[in-house]
Amino acid sequence: MARTLAFVALVAIAVTGASAGTTYDDTPKTGTVNLGASPYMTCGPSLKGGASEVQVSWSNFSLPATKMAIKLCFTKDKIFERPWRKYVKTINKNKQCWQTAKMAKFFKKDVPFTASGSLAIPLPENTAPSTYTVQVLSQDASGAYQEWGDSLDTSCKITTTIYENQPDGLKGTMGFFTVFSIVVLIGAYGYDRSKQA
């Protein structure tokens, strides 16, 4: 029995990879992350999921790495009393940075490593309307995190709104039939009551 448990634990570690247990405390916060175009501190309008993109820039990543991972993280005020967005020190288990309806752990993964660079990332349609910061993390060949940085230190927060893809005509039609169905329901109920009397 003990051998079976040891084997299962070994397989679990192999499957999850070296990065699964890496914490923020183990990973030096040396990178600089900015949002938007230079001078970075200009705060733009709210972004719409499915219709906007986030421009992420990073620099000061110096340790040898093979790839970068980018995470979209809720701001602290948006995780308060929301255990499903709980901050966890283990990077891959930090629910504060799981932002989409599918609980995606990455905003963008497997970005080729460069000590400094920038990338425009489309905002997924199912991104919750909220405020966010962006984390950029470098990873070695095994997937272990090497360095990281957060836009909270340098840039404005990202504010998102819901992308409304229903045309106004459809909204009006839906409203009409909602009211119409209530009127029909009340009329049918009244008619049935009068027949019973």
Checking if the pLDDT of 42 tops 70, the result is no
Q: φ and ψ at 122, to 5 degrees?
A: -60, 140
User: Could you tell me if 30 and 41 lie in one domain?
Assistant: yes
In a domain, 157, yes or no: yes
User: Could you tell me if 176 and 157 lie in one domain?
Assistant: no
In a domain, 47, yes or no: yes
User: Could you tell me if 152 and 175 lie in one domain?
Assistant: no
User: Could you tell me if 157 and 189 lie in one domain?
Assistant: no
Amino acid at 27: T
Q: Mind listing the pLDDT tens digit for each residue in 127-163?
A: 888 899 999 999 999 989 999 999 988 888 888 887 6
User: Could you tell me if 39 and 70 lie in one domain?
Assistant: yes
User: Could you tell me if 88 and 178 lie in one domain?
Assistant: no
User: Could you tell me if 178 and 91 lie in one domain?
Assistant: no
Checking if the pLDDT of 167 tops 90, the result is no
pLDDT at 16: 45
Residue range 109-122: mean pLDDT, rounded: 92
User: Could you tell me if 113 and 143 lie in one domain?
Assistant: yes
Cα dihedral sign, 75-76-80-84: positive
User: Could you tell me if 173 and 139 lie in one domain?
Assistant: no
User: Could you tell me if 44 and 123 lie in one domain?
Assistant: yes
- The parent domain of residue 128 ranges over 17-165
User: Could you tell me if 27 and 44 lie in one domain?
Assistant: yes
User: Could you tell me if 123 and 70 lie in one domain?
Assistant: yes
User: How far is the C-alpha of 14 from the C-alpha of 30, rounded, in Å?
Assistant: 28
Residue range 183-191: mean pLDDT, rounded: 89
Checking if the pLDDT of 61 tops 90, the result is yes
Reference 49, options 101, 102, 106, 124; nearest CA is 124
- Bridge partners, residue 131, by sequence: 159
User: With a threshold of 0.85, does the pTM exceed it?
Assistant: no
Instruction: State the average pLDDT for the chain.
Output: 82
pLDDT at 1: 53
Tokens standing for residue 121: 């990332």
